[in-house]
């Protein structure tokens, strides 16, 4: 087995997808990919950052089998940004029992998903549950939407009209037409339904709406959704 050396990440080249490393106690730079290996050999979903200490096998100017020895702490401004976000969420009745440092580290290293969003999901309520199934294969979708909406709109119910893209909504015995089903854009089927629900929420004086985000809607106060989009916790809809 070739010997391993220890290195410090000196620079990140995002455009070309590699990190520059300097050997501890040595001179000259080498490079490696942005994502180190985990102990099981899989690549980490979190990328390297400047200041990380790593081990690896050097072959010329390339280092392979890179693994973390110690991670650099996220910059203070990243932590302060998350601290402010957590404070503002708590002021809106959404306290989160997570420390700001790991959230900031996850964002700084561009990790997939969001630990903060995972903690908030029970309070926000998502229209689609992509982790469970594609919306057209999710048999619990309307039940979930009905339950979440009824917390703010008593007596609300929604049922599919068999054989057609329509929904029967109570109160009022409304029949809402759905858009043309499109596997690549399932939101289109439900847009008029969501528009109707939001109108009814407004008439009932509720503060929440089903607000559009990337490939989904989220049930929450609109200022909370805007706050989460602005801080990268939720991804907003792309501009037309």
pLDDT in tens, 176-206: 999 999 999 999 999 999 999 999 999 999 9
For domain 5-70, the CATH architecture is Beta Barrel (2.40)
Q: Write the DSSP string, 63-112.
A: EEEEEEEEPPPPPHHHHHHHHHHHHHHHHTT------HHHHHHHHHTT-S
pLDDT in tens, 202-226: 999 999 999 999 999 999 999 999 9
Please name every residue paired with 63 in a beta bridge, in sequence order, or none if there are none: 58
> pLDDT at position 121, please?
82
Q: Which residues of the chain have pLDDT under 70?
A: 1, 238-240
Chain mean position to CA 59: 37
> pLDDT at position 1, please?
61
> Cis omega before residue 171 (within 30°)?
yes
Q: What residues does each domain of the chain span?
A: 5-70
> pLDDT at position 238, please?
52
| DSSP structural state of residue 34 | S
Identify which of 224, 5, 4 has the alpha carbon closest to the alpha carbon of residue 117. 224
> pLDDT at position 240, please?
39
Cα distances (Å, whole numbers) of residue 92 to 83, 89, 220, 225? 14, 5, 11, 11
Whole-number Å distance between alpha carbons of 70 and 78: 19
């Amino acid at each position: 087995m070739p010997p391993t050396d220890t290195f410090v990440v000196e620079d990140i080249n995002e455009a070309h997808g590699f990190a520059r490393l300097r050997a501890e106690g040595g001179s000259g730079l080498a490079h490696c990919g942005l994502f180190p290996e985990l102990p099981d050999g899989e690549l980490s979903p979190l990328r390297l950052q400047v200041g990380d200490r790593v081990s690896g096998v050097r072959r010329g100017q390339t280092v392979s089998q890179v693994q973390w020895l110690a991670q650099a702490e996220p910059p203070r401004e990243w932590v302060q940004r998350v601290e402010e976000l957590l404070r503002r969420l708590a002021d809106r009745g959404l306290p989160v029992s997570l420390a700001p440092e790991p959230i900031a580290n996850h964002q700084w290293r561009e990790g997939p998903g969001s630990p903060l969003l995972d903690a908030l999901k029970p309070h926000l309520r998502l229209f689609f549950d992509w982790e469970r199934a594609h919306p057209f294969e999710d048999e619990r979708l309307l039940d979930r939407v009905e339950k979440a909406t009824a917390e703010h709109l008593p007596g609300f119910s929604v049922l599919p009209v068999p054989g057609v893209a329509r929904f029967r909504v109570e109160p009022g015995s409304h029949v809402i037409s759905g858009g043309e089903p499109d596997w690549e854009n399932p939101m289109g089927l439900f847009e008029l339904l969501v528009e109707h629900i939001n109108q009814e929420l407004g008439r009932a004086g509720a503060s929440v709406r089903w607000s559009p985000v990337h490939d989904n809607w989220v049930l929450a106060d609109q200022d909370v959704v805007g706050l989460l989009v602005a801080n990268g916790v939720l991804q907003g809809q792309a501009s037309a």
